[in-house]
Structure formats: C-alpha cells, structure tokens
Amino acid sequence: MRFCMPSAAALFGSLCHGCRSRARSLSFRGFSGSPRQNSRWNSQDSIDLPTAENPRILITGGLGQLGVGLAEILRKQYGTENVILSDIKKAPPEVYRSGPFVYADVLDYKNLRELVVNNRITWLVHYSALLSAVGEANVALARKINITGLHNVLDLALESCLRLFVPSTIGAFGPSSPRDPAPDLCVQRPHTIYGVSKVHGELMGEYLHHKYGLDFRCLRYPGIISANTQLGGGTTDYAVQIFHDALSTGHHECYLRADTRLPMMHIGDCHRATVEFMQAPEFQLSLRTYNIAAMSFTPEEVATEIRKHLPHLKVTYNPDSVRQTIADSWPVRFDDSNAQRDWGWKSTYGLEELVSDMLSSIRDKKTNAGLPVS
C-alpha cells in the first residue's frame, strides 16, 4: 500500500491511502488552466476528452534538450491532450501547435499547484535545471532552480500522489567515486553545485518514497546527444557541437582533452529509457535511482568516426579549465546492470549508429533551412 501526504505543508498531518487507485478512478475533463496558462488548447471544443486509463502528464523545463522530444513520444502513446509541456520561455510556433503548452515557473509553488490540480495531473516529469558549467557560473541561481524548485515539485507530488520522475546525471558522481565502471550505489561527493543538487534530489526522493510512499523515479543520464535541441551549458555539449562544426566549417575546437572519456547516449535511447522506466510496475523496481548506459567515447574517438563520413574534419584541442576539471571528476563508464535486470533496459545506439544518425539529421536540417553544408 502506498501512502502520500494530503498537503504539501502537512508533514505532521494524516496520511492518505490508495493513491494509485484514486488517481485511476478520477473523472477526467479537458485541459484547463488559470488566465496566465491560456493557449489554444484551453478550449473544450479543440480537444477530445482523455480516458481515465491514461496518465495526465506535466513536463517542467520542457523547452530544454529533452522535453519536446519526450512529449512527442508520450503524446503518441497517451493522447496529445494528456501531455502538458511547460517552461518559463515562449514556445516556438511548432511547439505551441503540437500540443498543450503553458507557462510554469518551478519556483512558483502556487502556479505549479494550479496546474496539477486543474489538469488532474498524475505523472510529473521534472526537467527544470541549470546544467553543470552554467551552474558553476551562477551558483545562487542554480541552488534556487535545482534545489528550491525540486522541493516544490516533491511537495506537490506528495500532496497529489503523483508518479514523479526527476533525472539525475553523470554529474552526481565525484572524484572519489569508482570511475570504470560507476555502480548505482557508491561514494558520490560531486564537486559542482549541479552534482550536489542531483545527489540531494536522489536522496530526498528515496527518503520520501520510504517514509511516505512517494512514487519517485530517477535515472542517471550520461551525456545526451541530439540533433534537434539547443545546447544548455553542459560539460558534454562538445559531443553535439562537433557534428554541427563538421558539417558547417569542417573545424571543431574542443574544450576537453582528446583523451577525455565519458559515458554518452543517443537521445532516442534516453527517451525510450525514460518512458519504459515510468511505465515499469513498482514491484519490479529494487532501486529508485538507476544508472543507464549506452557507450563511452573520447573526443578523438568520435572525431575519428566522423572522419569516416567527412575526412576533412579538423579538430583542435583547447581545454577549458572549468569543464575539464568537471569531466575529470566523472566516471568513464556506467554500470547499468540493475536497470537491465529489473526493468529490461537495453540501449540500441552504439557509436557508429550515433554518428551516422547525427550527421544525417543535421545535414537534413541545414539543407531544409537553406544553409550551406561542408
């Protein structure tokens, strides 16, 4: 039996029972919101009513690297109107047209609560965060978004008995962690505010699961590689930028050393892992936080693979002290054997497949935009 708190502020109040069955029995209505959440999806006439069998999903930080793609996959499975994308930035027209999009500031608890209550949310995917390099440049802001914002989401999940997904990261490990491979359970001790906030999130989620029955789920992502998203200031961003540079100028200046090996993953595998993990029955989960792995490579190895397609690529190395120090504190490989055993995780993209897909996707995007391709 699961237990959840009836109120975000009521840590000393009574507990409610059977939240999962209660969520399934709700009589769902169409998408609604407060005046500041208006979009064309607010109209009752513009959507079909969702079925009670499907989850109602809110994604925070939805305009980052992962949110739009995950929303697309979830909408295909559960219905467009059942997946609400949110951020504090204005959505591009194609995102706005693709399904429900609302303003949501994770530091504004009242606004988040309105969204959850008015739209009968049952799953929450919390992607709002400042990444590693950006966080080190603005520690105070990273602390607010990555920790205060997380606590708002945790409180809401307890109050409304939500299934909550909060990603963790390679950055949750530190220089004293095992590096090759890093297991699920080990010393972490990261040296960045990003990493500290992720370890804090892992532990808080697990604590609230054990104490109150919160359905908290967390995956430690490797560096995620995608052709369709903007870079967000992460230490592994070079592994996306090198493809753009290879096709535009033929030259990439890398801010890491040539031999810096880090775990990486194609965004397709990342989305699939997230969806499969969210769908896994609770009884299959022996942990609340899992590593997921696909491949590990160095800048020189990915450059060598790209040269099989674009022999003219030139790479120079000019290590940035901040990002290199961060990368040197991270594992070179993940041990994801628990995820494989418990809920059947298995990656599909290796380095060869990743490089072919990235070059093809970016070339198509540039061609369609009328941009030159090297």
By the 8 A CB rule, do 300 and 258 touch? Answer: yes
Longest CA–CA separation in the chain, Å: 67
Q: Which residues make Cβ contacts (< 8 Å) with residue 140, sequence separation at least 6?
A: none
Helix (H) or strand (E) holding 93: helix 93-98
Q: At what angle do helices 351-368 and 238-248 cross, to 10 degrees?
A: 50
Nearest one of 216, 110, 112, 217 to 158, comparing CA atoms: 216
CA 176 from chain center: how many Å? 25
By the 8 A CB rule, do 261 and 298 touch? Answer: yes
By the 8 A CB rule, do 187 and 195 touch? Answer: no
Q: Which two tokens stand for residue 76?
A: 């295909």
Query: What residue type is assigned to position 148 of the chain?
Result: T
Query: What residue type is assigned to position 161 of the chain?
Result: C
What is the C-alpha separation between 227 and 175, in angstroms, rounded?
A: 30
Through-space distance between the first and last CA atoms of the chain, rounded to whole angstroms = 59
Q: Where are the alpha helices (DSSP H) in 109-263?
A: 109-118, 132-137, 139-143, 149-160, 193-212, 238-248
By the 8 A CB rule, do 121 and 160 touch? Answer: yes
Residues facing residue 223 across a β-bridge = 264
Q: Which residues make Cβ contacts (< 8 Å) with residue 179, sequence separation at least 6?
A: 173, 330, 331, 332, 333
Mark whether 221 is an active-site residue: no
Query: What residue type is assigned to position 25 of the chain?
Result: S
Of 103, 194, 212, 255, which is the active-site residue?
A: 194
Q: Reduce the DSSP state of residue 241 to 3 states and report it.
A: helix
Catalytic residues: 194
